[in-house]
Amino acid sequence: MNVHDKRIVIFGGTSGIGLATTSILSEMNAKHIYSISRNPEKSSLSNSNIELVKMDVLDESKLVSFFEKVGHYDILINAATGGERAIGPFMKMDLEGYRNSFKKLWGYTNSVRYGLQNLSQNGCVVLVSGSPARKCKPGQIALASVGGAVEAFSKSIASEIMPIRINVVSPGVIDTPMVPLEGSEREEFYKKVTKENLIPRAGKAEEVAQAILFAIQNDFITGTTIDVDGGWLNS
């Protein structure tokens, strides 16, 4: 699919991977991009083909109203839903924190359930999971559980929604604002957590955005996961 002159909805579109994706699609002359987040006022996006929208994807009534307002569109991307990230050993983890991690999954399924109704019949959906879904480090059980569920959801629903395509992009360690560290402390953190990668560095949000773009443009893939992890899964 050529993104030129297409109408696009992107959740989590004002920060990190979502911001990089929004910027690339805008530069490629998408007709109109609805860039959605809970805090769009913090965004620096100002291109004429980008409309910033404030919304929580877990609010189903507002989600329904939003898609009714959007009407017919071509591409649905969900790069973030703001779910919690419970970290630590499962047997010591607060179970409420573990359950709340699944808000990411509910946000994704909400966007697909209500977003498909006005999506073009030759349109596509791209979701973002994460490498712990298939290679989990100690303490990442919540991330692995949610990411695995997102990937299973996409693979399972692909046959139900054809000819609409759906794929997942799975990033490894990516340098985004989600990591609050700065300066040398930030550099050391990324060096430590990526030392076992075949490409031993943190990825860039733009590199993940390029994979999302590939999933959009390639009309012969659906129900699959594209890894952007510096070779982590093969290390």
Determine how many CB atoms are found less than 10 A away from the CB of residue 85. Answer: 14
In a domain? residue 49: yes
The amino acid at residue 194 is T
Range of 180's domain?
7-234
Residues 44-73: pLDDT tens digits? 898 999 999 999 999 999 999 999 999 999
In a domain? residue 230: yes
Average pLDDT over all residues of the chain: 94
Q: What is the pLDDT of residue 44?
A: 84
Average pLDDT over residues 164-170: 98
Rounded to whole angstroms, what are the CA distances from 35 to 12, 43, 53, 68, 217?
A: 7, 10, 6, 16, 19
Q: What is the pLDDT of residue 10?
A: 98
Q: What is the pLDDT of residue 155?
A: 97
In a domain? residue 1: no
In a domain? residue 136: yes
- Domain holding 21: CATH number? 3.40.50.720
Whether 11 has a pLDDT exceeding 80, the answer reads yes
Residues 174-185: pLDDT tens digits? 998 888 888 989
Average pLDDT over residues 141-148: 94
Secondary structure of the chain as H, E, C letters: CCCCCCEEEEECCCCHHHHHHHHHHHHCCCCEEEEEECCHHHCCCCCCCEEEEECCCCCHHHHHHHHHHHCCEEEEEECCCCCCCCCCCHHHCCHHHHHHHCHHHHHHHHHHHHHHHHEEEEEEEEEECCHHHCCCCCCCHHHHHHHHHHHHHHHHHHHHHCCCEEEEEEECCEECCCCCCCHHHHHHHHHHHCCCCCCCCCEEHHHHHHHHHHHHHCCCCCCCEEEECCCHHHC
Average pLDDT over residues 121-150: 94
Whether 159 has a pLDDT exceeding 80, the answer reads yes
Compute the distance between CA of residue 122 and CA of residue 232 in angstroms, rounded to an integer. 33
Q: How many domains does the chain have?
A: 1
Determine how many CB atoms are found less than 10 A away from the CB of residue 169. Answer: 25
Proportion of the chain above pLDDT 90, given as a percent: 85
Whether 111 has a pLDDT exceeding 90, the answer reads yes
Q: What is the pLDDT of residue 82?
A: 64
Whether 87 has a pLDDT exceeding 90, the answer reads no
Residues 20-51: pLDDT tens digits? 999 999 999 999 999 999 989 888 898 999 99
Whether 83 has a pLDDT exceeding 70, the answer reads no
Q: What is the pLDDT of residue 180?
A: 84
Q: Quick one: CA dihedral 144, 178, 113, 27, positive or negative?
A: negative
Q: What is the pLDDT of residue 108?
A: 96
In a domain? residue 117: yes
In a domain? residue 148: yes
Rounded to whole angstroms, what are the CA distances from 65 to 71, 95, 105, 143, 221?
A: 10, 33, 21, 30, 31
In a domain? residue 127: yes
**107: pLDDT confidence band, cut at 50, 70 and 90?**
very high
